[in-house]
Amino acid sequence: MAVTTRVSERDRVDGVDVQAPPPPPATAQDTSIGDLISDISADLSQLVRDEIELAKAEIKEESTKAGKAVGMLGGAGYAGHLVLLLGSFTVIFALSNVMDIAWAALIVTAVWAVVGAVLYSTGRKRLRTVNLKPEQTMETLKEDARWARHPRS
């Protein structure tokens, strides 16, 4: 069979349907400025969407790792609490050999009250120095805005 000369979406070669080749890409002369800007806008939008998806994936992965680590720290905190509780009972019973058990319990309680007060005071002082405003990010965003208003090559 011969190759047909008709122009259509599908041609027949040797009795088999063949897809017509795609049209050649537009040359610089055929493309308008509006089309170029549209293409750039679409590419930029796709790039931003891809970057956001990548960031989401990374954050999800890191959040999962952080969640597991925090769970382990919580378990360690509970174990530490039990150690302090049982250690306190040990000290109380050891002191009960020297004095009445009520006085021994009162002394251990007073020691823990002092430790708690010191930790509270130190934590409160450090918490007052915390600045939740992301200073570096804000400065970077301001620089980006200045650059966008007055770009330099």
Q: How confident is the model at residue 82 (pLDDT cuts 50, 70, 90)?
A: very high
> Of the given ranges (24-28, 90-94, 132-136), which has the lowest mean pLDDT?
24-28
Write down the pTM of the prediction.
Answer: 0.49
> If pLDDT is split at 50, 70 and 90, which confidence band does 3 have?
very low
9 touches 20 (CB < 8 A) = yes
pLDDT given for residue 50 in this prediction: 86
pLDDT tens-digit map of 118-138: 999 999 999 998 887 778 878
At 55, the pLDDT band (50, 70, 90 cuts) reads confident
Query: By percentage, how much of the chain surpasses pLDDT 70?
Result: 79
| Residue 127, both tokens | 């918490």
> Alpha-carbon torsion 144, 147, 149, 153, what sign?
negative
- Answer with the residue of higher pLDDT: 9 or 133: 133
pLDDT of residue 18: 56
CA distance 4 to 1: 9
**How sure is the predictor about 7, in pLDDT bands with cuts at 50, 70 and 90?**
very low
